[in-house]
Amino acid sequence: QSALTQPASVSGSPGQSITISCTGTSSDVGGYNYVSWYQQHPGKAPKLMIYDVSNRPSGVSNRFSGSKSGNTASLTISGLQAEDEADYYCSSYTSSSTPLVFGGGTKLTVL
């Protein structure tokens, strides 16, 4: 099954805000509020940043926020910091043969 579509890369300067999109279909992103976002630093395991479209786990900075419109979910990081530089992946429940699908990942560069 097809992965969710994310931009390959985004960049921003410290203090700025950036948004990463995650586009799917009505069978996944558009059909359910089960979108999660994960942060992955090089050589490390992914870390949950946002779940159920817009909820933040305990311990995750409120600079991270999520939203959804139609078949596209978005992750916004405000007040960019150097440590935000990482790869970001979205995931969604899907009604297809397997229950979960990931986005292709977005590399965030903090200039």
Residues engaged in binding other proteins (CB under 8 A): 1, 3, 33-34, 36, 38, 45-48, 51-52, 57, 87, 89, 91-93, 97-105
Report, in Å, the least distance between residue 6 CB and other proteins: 9
Cα 93 from chain centre? 14
Q: How far is the CB of 95 from other proteins (least distance, A)?
A: 12
CB of 4 to other proteins, least distance (A): 10
| Nearer Cβ to other proteins (55/69) | 55
Which residue number, 79 or 99, has a Cβ lying nearer to other proteins?
A: 99
Which residue in the block uniquely carries the two structure tokens 């969710």? 4
**Half-sphere exposure (CA, 13 Å, Cβ side) for 46?**
15
- Distances 17 to 28, 78, 80, 88, 108 between C-alpha atoms, Å: 27, 4, 6, 15, 11
